């Protein structure tokens, strides 16, 4: 039994709320980006504006709700895309081995040596890319970790008796990989993917803070943090709310990923 059975509940509540924001923000806050120059900047606690407004008169809380989509969807796509690459290349490297394993391992080591945020910043800036270009760049930069993780898991599975039995029965490599090894690797891959969502959320927010990723006027937590630099003396809520959302979301996903990883490891030991 897991020593932390409360983790799914503790993490599920904030993640459930964020998921509602992502899916239904257009109906919850349909006027989030509506400007009101006459209102201007107001401080937290102003009537009708719990966290105040920005320099364009937009409600900070409504912008944060509307920005959940761009802040969360990209990291999910990054984690999913990098894990698909990791499963494909890591399985080949771990099971086939030889020169293919050496080549893919060197490829992963090369990318792991690069500073993720800095490389994404340079590449996205050079191609004048937007949100989805940033996502694609981060998929490639996140994939080496997944390749190495899957490779290690596949190698661990390959030495087990049931794989040796499958070989004795004359099963082909492809069938062994996809019918026997991969199902035992996927649970660990899924928990790792959740951890990558948290890391990608922080990376995407950092790039948005630096002016890359989402376009001007598009609600996003990282963009809100960037805009808040000119408002701190008049509205501290413009910094606090998006920062809290990033921290809480990343921490909840990270805790859930760790918990799942522990559960899968316990089941693996019991087998």
Count other Cβ atoms within 10 Å, centred on residue 183.
10
- In the CATH scheme, what architecture does the domain 7-270 have? Orthogonal Bundle (1.10)
| Residues composing the chain | 271
Distances (CA, A) of 181 to 28, 129, 134, 156, 185: 45, 38, 33, 10, 6
Contact between 85 and 139 (Cβ < 8 Å): yes
Domain boundaries, the chain: 7-270
Q: What is the pLDDT of residues 229-271, one digit of tens each?
A: 877 778 888 889 999 999 999 999 999 988 888 887 766 655 5
Which residues fall within 8 angstroms of residue 89, CB to CB, at 6 or more apart? Answer: 104, 143, 147, 150
Contact between 196 and 142 (Cβ < 8 Å): yes
What is residue 33's three-state secondary structure?
coil
* pLDDT, position 19: 95
Indicate the burial class of 66 (C-beta count within 10 angstroms; 0-12, 13-18, 19 or more). Answer: buried
Q: Which residue has the higher pLDDT, 79 or 155?
A: 79
Q: What is the mean pLDDT of residues 5-16?
A: 89
Rounded percentage of the chain residues whose pLDDT exceeds 90: 35
Q: What is the pLDDT of residues 69-112, one digit of tens each?
A: 999 999 999 999 999 999 999 988 888 888 888 999 898 999 88
Q: What is the pLDDT of residues 23-56, one digit of tens each?
A: 998 899 888 777 776 666 777 767 677 788 888 7
Backbone torsions φ then ψ of 42, nearest 5 degrees? -125, 155
Whether residue 5 has pLDDT greater than 70: yes
């Amino acid at each position: 039994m897991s020593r932390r059975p409360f983790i799914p509940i503790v993490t599920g509540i904030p993640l459930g709320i964020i998921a509602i924001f992502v899916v239904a923000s257009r109906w919850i806050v349909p006027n989030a980006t509506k400007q009101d120059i006459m209102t201007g900047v107001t401080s937290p606690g102003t009537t009708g504006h719990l966290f105040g407004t920005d320099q364009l008169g937009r409600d900070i809380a409504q912008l944060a709700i509307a920005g959940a989509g761009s802040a969360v969807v990209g990291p999910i796509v990054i984690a999913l895309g990098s894990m698909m690459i990791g499963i494909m290349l890591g399985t080949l490297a771990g099971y086939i081995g030889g020169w293919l394993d050496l080549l893919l391992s060197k490829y992963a080591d090369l990318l792991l040596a690069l500073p993720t945020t800095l490389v994404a910043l340079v590449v996205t800036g050079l191609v004048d890319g937007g949100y989805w270009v940033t996502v694609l760049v981060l998929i490639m930069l996140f994939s080496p970790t997944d390749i190495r993780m899957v490779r290690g898991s596949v190698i661990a599975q390959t030495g087990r008796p049931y794989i040796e039995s499958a070989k004795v029965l004359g099963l082909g490599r492809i069938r062994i990989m996809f019918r026997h090894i991969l199902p035992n690797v996927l649970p660990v891959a899924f928990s790792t993917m959740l951890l990558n969502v948290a890391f990608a959320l922080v990376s995407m927010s950092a790039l948005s803070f630096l002016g890359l990723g989402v376009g001007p006027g598009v609600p996003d937590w990282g963009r809100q943090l960037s805009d808040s630099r000119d408002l701190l003396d008049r509205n501290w809520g413009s910094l606090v709310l998006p920062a809290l959302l990033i921290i809480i979301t990343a921490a909840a996903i990270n805790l859930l990923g760790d918990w799942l990883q522990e559960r899968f490891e316990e089941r693996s030991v019991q087998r």
